[in-house]
């Protein structure tokens, strides 16, 4: 299948003109209720057709006993029925001419061999009809630009009681419903979403299909993935090598141990491969591999908020000497070089220290704070470090404390960020006062300075950006 045709076939999963919800429910909390409520809550402009033979209407919408009674052909069908009824429903979708179906029912290949055989039967039925299936065991898709959310989780009262799903530039692909559920408040407030897809058991639409789709999506600048297995490694890596020339791909690959692989088999029916093979293949393709969901957010946020570093020399400005030591250790582990500062830079920094102080790199600032105050210390030193031609990025570390009563610390760095647009600046605010930490984190993110709770987290994210930049330089990519 050529790429243009593939993209056209996958579009209804994110921006259909109409959608049928098969298994629509009048009971709040059930999947067939939540999906319709979510679509209405977001203001989805397309037509919604609830299908339920025992209901006259669902959430003020006319309900239909079956697909035959619906005027026209829905572009997308969502099936939320018991597994024993799914195959028959899929056959009805085929008869109605529907070409895209999300099966949000569980109880298939992740359960047993009989469930796996049902999946294969559905694949054969869909292939013969030119239909694409996402799932089964999917939790749906999100597309903020189309005000579209097919996820099972209820936005009202649970996952997003207030506010809107915020449009962003990160596309999330995963064998998990966490992106559209439990993690939604976090990624919505701190990163933003271009699109999200829960693949479930991947009986048809898989990670390579979604990678191709997100690679062509103009709203997606960064692709973040959670994978337990990869269906077609050759295709996945080929797509990655091409897409990564313009967009970073960040992957959390689980099922790396025997126990994890067994758990994966019961989660999505996935068969995991040997981890060291994945690791080597990802590295060669330029894929950024992370080890936790927290690192997935950290690295994705860095790519969204900061420019790519021109090199791997980092200037570190730290509140304490012990932090300087741990930051150097983290830098070495992540392939970064601690920048050496020129004599001119050291002279600028020296102006906020007592005469007897000897300026080193990393810069331990506590004595300067005592001599010149917090504001003069951090602004003077940060500017001096960023102005040094031997520095490619800066990490500024301070505690989440009330340094400037009545004022917001991130405001000190807004102009600095503007004056050095081509060098990443990352903030670290180790937990002191939690409320102050949350306020500082929001403030830094508003001026597009990624903020972390530890220097190790910030340095890991910066190291990932540097590796990506090196890969682009080696392969001629643009990373735009």
- Residue 480 scores a pLDDT above 80: no
Separation CA 161–CA 445 (nearest Å)? 23
Separation CA 187–CA 308 (nearest Å)? 21
Burial (0-12, 13-18, 19+ Cβ within 10 Å), 326:
middle
Question: For the ranges 93-97, 98-102, 254-258, which has the lowest average pLDDT?
Answer: 254-258
Beta bridge partners of 20: 49, 77
Report cis status (omega within 30 of 0) of the bond before 362: yes
Separation CA 50–CA 70 (nearest Å)? 9
- Residue 85 scores a pLDDT above 80: yes
pLDDT, tens digit (0-9, with 9 covering 90-100), for 239-261: 999 999 999 999 999 856 555 44
Using the CB atoms, write b or e for 108-117: b if 16+ within 10 Å: bbbbeeebbe
Separation CA 240–CA 222 (nearest Å)? 12
Q: Name the band, by pLDDT with cuts 50, 70 and 90, for residue 1.
A: low
Angle at which helices 455-475 and 321-333 cross, to 10°: 30
Beta bridge partners of 143: 148
pLDDT, tens digit (0-9, with 9 covering 90-100), for 430-440: 878 889 999 99
Closest CA to 191 of 167, 160, 174, 211: 167
Largest CA distance in the chain: 86
**For position 269, what pLDDT does the model report?**
44
H helices of 217-292, in order, are 233-243, 258-267, 275-285
**For position 265, what pLDDT does the model report?**
46
Q: Where do the structural domains in the chain lie, given as residue ranges? A: 3-302, 307-475
Read off the pLDDT of each residue in 223-231 and give the average, rounded to a whole number: 94
In the chain, what percentage of residues exceed pLDDT 70? 96
Contact in structure between 83 and 107 (CB atoms under 8 Å): yes
- Residue 270 scores a pLDDT above 70: no
- Average pLDDT taken over every residue of the chain: 93
Q: Computed from CA positions of residues 287, 289, 294, 299, in that sequence, does the dihedral angle turn out positive or negative?
A: negative
- Is the pTM value of this prediction over 0.85? yes
Question: For the ranges 174-188, 259-273, 330-344, 415-429, which has the lowest average pLDDT?
Answer: 259-273
The first and second tokens of residue 241, run together, are 């090598």
DSSP letter, residue 64: B
Contact in structure between 377 and 404 (CB atoms under 8 Å): no
Separation CA 45–CA 43 (nearest Å)? 6
Identify the CATH number of the domain defined by range 307-475.
3.40.50.261
- With vertex at residue 182, the alpha carbon angle to CA 136 and CA 7, rounded to the nearest 5 degrees, is 45
What residues contact residue 39 under an 8 Å CB cut-off, 6+ apart?
Answer: 19, 48, 148, 149, 150
Same CATH topology for 3-302 and 307-475: the answer is yes
Report cis status (omega within 30 of 0) of the bond before 78: no
Angle at which helices 233-243 and 275-285 cross, to 10°: 30
Closest CA to 300 of 113, 172, 178: 172
pLDDT, tens digit (0-9, with 9 covering 90-100), for 295-307: 999 999 999 999 9
To 10 degrees, the CA torsion angle through 117, 120, 126, 130?
-170
Read off the pLDDT of each residue in 40-69 and give the average, rounded to a whole number: 97
Read off the pLDDT of each residue in 303-332 and give the average, rounded to a whole number: 94
pLDDT, tens digit (0-9, with 9 covering 90-100), for 178-187: 999 999 999 9
The first and second tokens of residue 154, run together, are 């209820």
CA distances for 271 relative to 132, 228, 237, 256, angstroms: 22, 8, 18, 11
The first and second tokens of residue 280, run together, are 């080597």
Closest CA to 23 of 141, 94, 87, 104: 104
pLDDT, tens digit (0-9, with 9 covering 90-100), for 112-167: 888 889 999 999 999 999 999 999 999 999 999 999 999 999 999 899 998 889 99
- With vertex at residue 88, the alpha carbon angle to CA 83 and CA 92, rounded to the nearest 5 degrees, is 130
Strands, E, within 255-352: which ranges? Answer: 288-290, 313-318, 337-338
Match domain 3-302 to its CATH number in 3.40.50.261, 1.20.1250.20, 3.10.20.30, 3.40.50.880: 3.40.50.261
Separation CA 50–CA 465 (nearest Å)? 46
- Residue 237 scores a pLDDT above 90: yes
**For position 271, what pLDDT does the model report?**
42
Contact in structure between 327 and 350 (CB atoms under 8 Å): no
- Residue 460 scores a pLDDT above 80: yes
- What region does 200 belong to: left with phi over 0, alpha with psi -120 to 50, or beta? left
Contact in structure between 7 and 213 (CB atoms under 8 Å): yes
The 3-state DSSP class for residue 193 equals strand
């Amino acid at each position: 299948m050529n790429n243009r045709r593939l993209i056209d076939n996958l579009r209804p999963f994110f921006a259909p003109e109409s959608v049928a919800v098969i298994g629509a429910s009048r009971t709040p909390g059930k999947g067939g209720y939540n999906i319709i409520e979510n679509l209405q809550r977001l203001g989805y402009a397309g037509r919604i057709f609830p299908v339920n033979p025992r209901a006259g209407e669902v959430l003020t919408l006319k309900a239909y006993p079956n697909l035959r009674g619906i005027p026209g052909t829905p572009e997308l069908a969502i099936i939320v029925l018991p597994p024993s009824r799914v195959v028959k429903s899929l056959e009805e979708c085929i008869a109605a001419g529907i070409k895209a179906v999300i099966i949000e029912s569980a109880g298939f290949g992740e359960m047993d061999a009989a469930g796996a055989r049902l999946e294969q039967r559905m694949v054969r039925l869909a292939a013969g009809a030119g239909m694409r299936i996402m799932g089964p065991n999917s939790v749906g898709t999100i597309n903020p630009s189309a005000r579209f959310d097919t996820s099972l989780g209820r936005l009202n009262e649970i996952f997003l009681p207030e506010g809107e799903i915020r449009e962003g530039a990160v596309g999330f692909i995963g064998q998990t419903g966490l992106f559209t559920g439990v993690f939604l408040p976090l990624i919505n407030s701190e990163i933003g979403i271009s699109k999200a897809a829960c693949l479930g058991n991947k009986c048809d639409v898989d990670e390579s299909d979604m990678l191709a789709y997100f690679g062509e999506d103009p709203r997606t600048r960064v692709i973040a993935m959670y994978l337990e297995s990869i269906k077609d490694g050759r295709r996945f890596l080929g797509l990655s090598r091409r897409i990564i020339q313009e967009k970073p791909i960040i992957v959390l690959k689980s099922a790396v141990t025997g126990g994890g692989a067994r758990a994966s088999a019961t989660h999505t029916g996935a068969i995991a491969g040997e981890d060291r093979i994945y690791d080597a293949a990802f590295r060669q393709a330029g894929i950024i591999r992370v080890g936790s969901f927290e690192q997935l957010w950290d690295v994705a946020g860095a790519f969204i908020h900061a420019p790519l570093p021109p090199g791997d020399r980092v200037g570190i400005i730290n509140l304490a000497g012990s932090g300087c030591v741990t930051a150097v250790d983290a830098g070495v582990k992540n392939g970064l070089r601690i920048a050496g500062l020129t004599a001119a830079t050291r002279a600028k920094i020296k102006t906020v220290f007592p005469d007897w102080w000897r300026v080193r790199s990393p810069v331990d600032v506590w004595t300067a704070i005592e001599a010149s105050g917090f504001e003069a210390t951090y602004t003077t030193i940060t500017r001096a470090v960023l102005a040094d031609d031997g520095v490619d990025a800066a990490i500024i570390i301070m505690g989440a404390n009330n340094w400037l009563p009545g004022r917001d610390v991130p405001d000190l760095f807004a102009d600095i960020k503007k004056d050095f647009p081509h060098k990443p600046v990352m903030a670290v605010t180790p937990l002191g006062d939690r409320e102050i930490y949350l306020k500082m984190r929001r403030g830094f993110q508003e001026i597009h300075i990624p903020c972390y709770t530890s220097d190790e987290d910030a340095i890991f994210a910066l190291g990932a950006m540097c590796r990506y930049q090196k890969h682009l330089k080696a392969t001629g990519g643009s990373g735009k």
